[in-house]
Amino acid sequence: MYTGQRYKALDMAKWTRYETFVFFAIIIGWVAAYYFLGLEWLKIPWTPLALIGTAVAFVIGFQNNSAYGRIWEARKIWGGIVNTSRTFGMQIQDMVTGEYAESMVTKNELFEEIRTLTHRHIAWMTALRHAMRAVKPWETTFSHRTNQEWDLRPPEREIDLQEDLQPYLSDKDLSYLSDKGNKQTAILYLQSHHLRALKEKGLIWEFSFLELEGILQELFTLQGKSERIKNFPYPRQFATLNHYFMWLFVLLLPLSLVPQFAEIGSEIVDKHPLLGDVFIWLSIPFYVIVAWIFHTMERIGRTGENPFEGTSNDVPISTIARGIEIDLRQNLGESAEAIPEQFPVVYHVQF
């Protein structure tokens, strides 16, 4: 998610500069043809173009609202993961006790059980964020020229999932996950099996076991909601047609705009000969502004369709997950040297 304020306008201009060059080329070509080749007859009235522009504006608005809805829902889901994770960390520290144990259990043994459950939960978040960053065929924002130019890459593209899970899981757990397609689901199964084993040993009271199982159920719910957004794209019939309609409007706009400026120039040429002669060239900046606005709004909608892709406008799930990890491990009493630092912000973007 983009966090900068001072450089927004400059970055937006850089982000869209290639399309802006195309707009300049289009309008300069049309104006030159009108001015030097005398193509005054090649024009269309404003009414049909205004209808097309209105339709395009409505479709772009619908796309942007839908895209923002997906982003906001994704943010609420991961906000739920934050709250549920903190609740889980608190409850296992207070509910895993030797009060009802059949035999004596030392504090170190209890701490190891709590530590295993906590680290496995961090592994679940790690597996989930890796799954959310997996590349889908309909996710194309990351491959845009400007994103490649700035080399904005989320942490999940820098490290393999297996390597990322090793600090949090035992060899036995890693072996269990090796043949599982949905590793985040498998990790929650391991958590449930572990809780049941603790209940059978008397390290968790019956009521506490039900409470903790309810937390796992909530994590499954949040995981499923997150996977739904990831695996179900914004309907392509809307996104694709909207893109084509926008370009149709941008390409037809000079056929109405340039003749209008030429007509104004012919009306004032008697009183202001020089200004009237070159007035048609003033259509260039006006066209570029209008085309840039329509294109940029459409592109903003496209970049917001997939909130987990890992670009500058997406939900920073890596930062969220690492923040939860830091909270859990600090409250577990681990040393500052053992706890990883937060992921760095790159170009005012947190991932």
Stated pTM of the model? 0.88
- Determine the pLDDT at residue 170: 94
Q: Which residue has the higher pLDDT, 304 or 86?
A: 86
Q: With 70 as the cut, is the pLDDT of residue 2 above it?
A: no
Mean pLDDT, rounded, for 209-232 = 95
What's residue 23's pLDDT? 93
Which tens digit of pLDDT belongs to each residue from 282-315?
Answer: 999 999 999 999 998 888 888 888 899 887 778 9
345 in a structural domain: no
Q: What percent of the chain has pLDDT over 70?
A: 95
What six digits make up the tokens of 351? Answer: 């991932």
DSSP H stretches of helix in 96-170? 107-133, 145-150, 161-165
Q: What pLDDT score does 8 carry?
A: 60
The answer as to whether 110 is a domain residue is yes
Residue 4: pLDDT above 60?
A: no
The token pair at 337 is 């040297």
- The answer to the question of residue 347 being in a domain is no
Total number of domains in the chain: 1
166-176: average pLDDT = 94
Please check the confidence at residue 1 and state whether its pLDDT lies above 70.
Answer: no
Q: What is the mean pLDDT of residues 260-279?
A: 82
Amino acid at 97: T
| Per-residue DSSP letter, 145 | H
* CA dihedral over 146, 234, 288, 244, signed as positive or negative: positive
Distances (CA, A) of 98 to 7, 205, 272, 300, 328: 56, 10, 95, 55, 22
Per-residue pLDDT tens over the stretch 12-32: 777 788 889 999 999 999 999
Match 């997150």 to its residue by tokens: 226
Structure tokens at 167: 């600090």
Indicate the burial class of 176 (C-beta count within 10 angstroms; 0-12, 13-18, 19 or more): middle
Is the sign of the CA dihedral 209, 210, 213, 219 positive or negative?
negative
Residue 166 has pLDDT above 70, yes or no: yes
Using one digit for the tens of pLDDT, what is the confidence trace for 88-115?
999 999 999 878 777 788 888 899 999 9
Mean pLDDT on 260-284: 83
pLDDT exceeds cutoff 90 at 219: yes
Q: What is the pLDDT of residue 199?
A: 92
Residue 9: band (very low, low, confident or very high) from pLDDT cuts 50, 70, 90:
low
Q: How does the average pLDDT of the chain come out, rounded?
A: 88
Instruction: Categorize the per-residue pLDDT at 180 as very low, low, confident or very high, splitting at 50, 70 and 90.
Output: very high
**How many angstroms from the chain centroid is the CA of residue 296?**
17
How large is the average pLDDT for residues 147-169? 86
In a domain, 350, yes or no: no
CA separation for the pair 286, 13 (Å, rounded): 16
What pLDDT band is residue 269 in, cutting at 50, 70 and 90?
A: confident
Range of the domain at 122: 8-332
Question: 3-state SS string over the chain?
Answer: CECCCCCHHHHHHHHCHHHHHHHHHHHHHHHHHHHHHCCCCCCCCHHHHHHHHHHHHHHHHHHHHHHHHHHHHHHHHHHHHHHHHHHHHHHHHHHCCCCCCCCCCCHHHHHHHHHHHHHHHHHHHHHHHHHHHCCCCCCCHHHCHHHHHHCCCCHHHCCCHHHHHCCCCCHHHHHHHCCCCCHHHHHHHHHHHHHHHHHHHCCCCHHHHHHHHHHHHHHHHHHHHHHHHHHCCCCHHHHHHHHHHHHHHHHHHHHHHHHHHHHHHHHHCCCCHHHHHHHHHHHHHHHHHHHHHHHHHHHHHHHCCCCCCCCCCCCCHHHHHHHHHHHHHHHHCCCCCCCCCCCCCECCECC
Q: Which helix (H) or strand (E) holds 301?
A: helix 283-303
For the segment 156-165, what is each residue's pLDDT rounded down to a tens digit? 888 999 999 9
Segment 248-271 shows an average pLDDT of: 87
Cβ pair 256, 44 in contact under 8 A: yes
Residue 343 lies in a domain: no
Tokens encoding 109: 């043994």
- 284 found inside a domain: yes
Please check whether residue 256 lies inside any domain of the structure: yes
Phi and psi dihedrals of 165, rounded to 5? -85, -20
Q: Is residue 337 part of a domain?
A: no
The per-residue pLDDT for 320 is 96
Contact 88, 121 (CB under 8 A): yes
Instruction: Residue 17: name the closest of 299, 350, 283, 242 by CA.
Output: 299
Say what angle helices 183-201 and 206-231 make with each other, to 10 degrees: 180
More confident residue, 40 or 226: 226
* Confidence (pLDDT) at 287: 93
